[in-house]
Amino acid sequence: MIEAEGLTKFYGPRGAIKNVSFEIEKGEVVGFLGPNGAGKSTTIRILTCYMPPSSGTARVEGLDIYEDSLKIRQKVGYLPESVPLYKDLSVNRFLRFAAGAKGVEAKKINSEIGRVMSACGLEKTANRTIANLSKGFRQRVGLAQALVNNPSVLILDEPTIGLDPSQIIEIRHIIQELREDRTILLSSHILPEVAQLCSRVLIINKGEIIATGTPSKLTSQLQKSTTIVVELSGPSAEFAREVETMPGIRTVSPVSLSGTSKFEIETDPSVDMRSQIAALAVAKGCGLLELRATQLSLEDIFMQLVTEEPPLEGAQS
């Protein structure tokens, strides 16, 4: 549904993105991640035909960004980071304008406006002026205009930015309902949000795609060890000494807790040591309160990928 091939964009002498290529299949919900200035918004603006690339090309629903830019703009639902709302219009009039701009047939406009207002929970605000709406409801209006003409592709740039926690939950719920029959590219700085909503992520840094895959796939590629958390209620000194001697154990680090003993045990990721550790705890008469393996979160993956720096010249290994 979305294909990018070698997208490159220069602003004067500065390169914003360089040779960006990826594919998003029909029905996928893909998170687009990167630090500020990495090239996310530039890539999105090219895909939605708000600006051309300096080189490379892209297709959305099989339509070429050069030859079919007007059709793409009519067919793709786009929610920019800063939603361009006409605040002196009512919600109804603004959505009517959006429907006309997207080529909705005149006889279908009323039903289309009713559909998107229902999807975004805007029925009670239909005749209210946008300027008088809360930030959360203005964001809903922006999402509603993206849904006009029932697009099969949605591109959402920071859809929950600036919202309070309850508004974030509401917008997130709307997006979850929309994902069932649409292809969605979602850019967000809220990584737990991406983990909840997206089946795959693209990570861009300094204008280049540096990783793509499911969070679990990226975890397996990046996780150099497994950390097992163990909490015991009984004597633990002998347990800790014996764990350290087990094959596959790298380090045993005590974590201070009042009344119990807690350890973080770093192990070789190729071997699951949990059953052996549990058996040792039982053999030593320790009350086993907790035993779990931790994995890299999406935040951990993101930070590893975007903050890794090459070694300094002349540094000793």
Q: Could you give the strand order of the β-sheet that contains 77-79, starting from the edge strand earlier in sequence?
A: 77-79, 153-157, 183-187, 29-33, 200-205, 208-213
Does the domain spanning 224-294 belong to CATH 3.20.20.370? Answer: no
Any idea what DSSP says for residue 311?
P
Enumerate the domain spans of the chain.
2-220, 224-294
223-243 pLDDT tens trace:
777 889 999 987 788 888 899
pLDDT of residue 295: 75
Any idea what DSSP says for residue 85?
-
% of the chain residues with pLDDT over 90: 45
- Residues 6 or more apart whose Cβ sits within 8 Å of residue 256: 262
Residues 124 and 29: their CA atoms lie apart, in Å, by: 30
Question: Looking at residues 206-232, what average pLDDT do you find?
Answer: 84
pLDDT of residue 2: 93
- Residues 6 or more apart whose Cβ sits within 8 Å of residue 279: none
Give the best-scoring range by mean pLDDT among 89-93, 99-103, 264-268, 286-290. 89-93
- Given the candidates 3.90.580.10, 3.90.70.10, 3.40.50.300, 1.10.645.10, the CATH classification of the domain at 2-220 is 3.40.50.300
Report the predicted TM-score, pTM, of the whole model to 2 decimal places. 0.77
pLDDT of residue 6: 95
pLDDT of residue 308: 59
Nearest to 72 by CA among 172, 123, 1, 161: 1
Give the best-scoring range by mean pLDDT among 72-76, 128-132, 149-153, 230-234. 128-132
Identify the weakest region by mean pLDDT among 34-43, 96-105, 240-249, 250-259.
250-259
